[in-house]
Amino acid sequence: MERRRTFNPSRIAGLSLWLKADAGVTLSGSNVTAWADQSGNGRTVIVNNSPAFTASSINSRPTVDFNGETQFADALIPTFVGNNNFSVIWAFKYVGDSTSGNEYAPNVAFLSDSGVDQGAFHYIKNDIIGNYPAAYPLFFNGWTPYDYDSGFLYSEGSNFIMEFVANQSSGVYSVRRNNTQEGSEEIGTAADSDVIGIRIAGQQDPERHGNIKMAEIMVYNATLTSPQLDQIRNYLNTKYAIY
């Protein structure tokens, strides 16, 4: 009988970064001090202020837990400079409001070595309405943000698979939540040379933090096709039983 191979994200061309909480995590007690890239590229990941580690979290699988106040992780990747074709996919648990008092709580943001704010792929915006989605990618480089005041609201303690896909040929980026379209807007100028990677659970200037549990994140330096995205969705949903 033929053995069926387990899907591996590295089988899809263009994988720049792959972090998952069930591999490559270095602990000091119950706190994370390092998180190794699993893409085979050996990307540098800097974990800031020792987020906690939960061994059994989403579908009894581990997560790296960011407190929404001081903790974040920076991954250095060259994916975005001069490139408007890329895909970012991640699985996480939304814990609750940012304890740092910021209205926007980012899941994943751009990282700049000049400290200039380049926006985020996705926020959960916390206000009197509730916890709703927003995205301000490369806002100062001319990308069109979306900011939804109604519709879907994020429930605290819920799990999500998120996708951010930028497509230069169509001129738009799209955001999907649990395989449901959440937003789509126009893309602008490709990132400047100061964009050196991503920040997980944080954003630069203004400093913002996300109160989330991150299970897994992948970054590709290509606009993935629908069949490729289906493969990744199925892999993540089988692993984490999110929807």
User: What pLDDT digit, counting tens, does each position of 138-163 carry?
Assistant: 988 889 998 875 578 899 999 999 99
Q: Residue 78: what residue type?
A: P
DSSP state of 9: G
pLDDT at 159: 98
Residues 6+ apart with CB under 8 A from 196: 76, 77, 78, 111, 112, 113
- Mean per-residue pLDDT, 169-176: 96
Judge contact between 181 and 67, C-beta under 8 A: no
pLDDT interval class at 186 (50, 70, 90): very high
Judge contact between 145 and 185, C-beta under 8 A: yes
Using CA of residue 31, residue 55, residue 121, residue 45, what is the dihedral sign? positive
pLDDT at 199: 97
Using CA of residue 202, residue 204, residue 206, residue 207, what is the dihedral sign? positive
User: What pLDDT digit, counting tens, does each position of 196-217 carry?
Assistant: 999 999 999 888 999 999 999 9
pLDDT at 115: 79
Higher pLDDT, 139 or 230: 230
pTM: 0.95
Judge contact between 35 and 64, C-beta under 8 A: yes
Of the candidates 234, 241, 176, the one whose C-alpha atom is nearest the C-alpha of residue 6 is 234
Q: How far apart are CA 15 and CA 112, in angstroms?
A: 21
Q: What is the mean pLDDT of the chain?
A: 93
Q: How many other C-beta atoms lie within 10 A of the C-beta of residue 227?
A: 8
User: What pLDDT digit, counting tens, does each position of 71-101 carry?
Assistant: 999 999 999 999 999 999 999 999 988 766 6
pLDDT at 100: 64
pLDDT at 176: 96
